A and B are shown apart, each in its own frame.
Chain A
């Protein structure tokens, strides 16, 4: 079984600063994918970034980067130059080859608040 742990229920960051949201995972599968989603107060889950277990380079998408440390089983999301619109819930999720239908297993989420 897969498990995702997000230990920060809430985080604050000053506008224009960088912030790191923590995510650790547990799986016995060798092949898996890690995803980060953003959920604003409107409720829609917005895909941000993906990292594959075989990828040697950390994934980057604009202001988002994923700090992937396979040996430590961590996949932290780094948001650079925070903006007020970044205030939202952030979910780390995993899909694996052992999960049958490749459904996502989610963490409990981190609520990020950007302070002007």
Chain B
């Protein structure tokens, strides 16, 4: 079946502009994560969505970063007033989150191809 898709694959923008990055999850996957991968910081968690629950925004680096997930499916990560330090690859991952008593830490996250953001 189709995997996680992200768009655009590459985005070049000027400092101070706003950007939107999109993630389409695997059908049926209820949990969605955004991560950032940069040379200096490695892979960092940004935000987590699960069903209708309030998102976990604990990883967002500043209030310039926000994300939403419409209808429990597609997610958009928005960066306002971009800075050069925002340059990185932004990765989206989804997992199925089985119900019942399954331990949630066992769920495998499947990643999209990422969006490479370059801020000039």
Contact = CB atoms under 8 A, between A and B. Distances in A.
Contacts of B113: 42-44
Contacts of B58: 100-101
Q: Which bucket holds chain A's interface residue count?
A: 20 to 34
A104 interface: yes
Given A43-B114, A44-B111, A108-B42, A97 B33 contact: no
B50 A101 contact: yes
Given A43-B114, A45-B91, A45-B111, A33 B42 contact: no
A99 to B, nearest CB: 7
A50 B108 contact: yes
B42 A104 contact: no
B28 interface: no
Contact of B105 (A42, A96, A107): A96
Contacts of B48: 101-103
Nearest to B43: A106
Among A42, A101, A107, A108, the one with the most B-chain Cβ atoms within 10 Å of its Cβ is: A101
Q: Looking at chain B's contact residues, is the secondary structure mostly helix, strand, loop, or mixed?
A: strand
Nearest to B110: A47
Given A45-B91, A91-B43, A106-B43, A52 B103 contact: yes
A32 interface: yes
B73 to A, nearest CB: 18
Contacts of A68: none
Given A43-B114, A44-B114, A104 B103 contact: no
Interface string B76-120: 000000000000010101000000000111111111111010000
Contacts of B42: 106-109
Interface of B: 31, 33, 35, 42-43, 45, 48, 50, 56, 58-59, 89, 91, 93, 103-114, 116
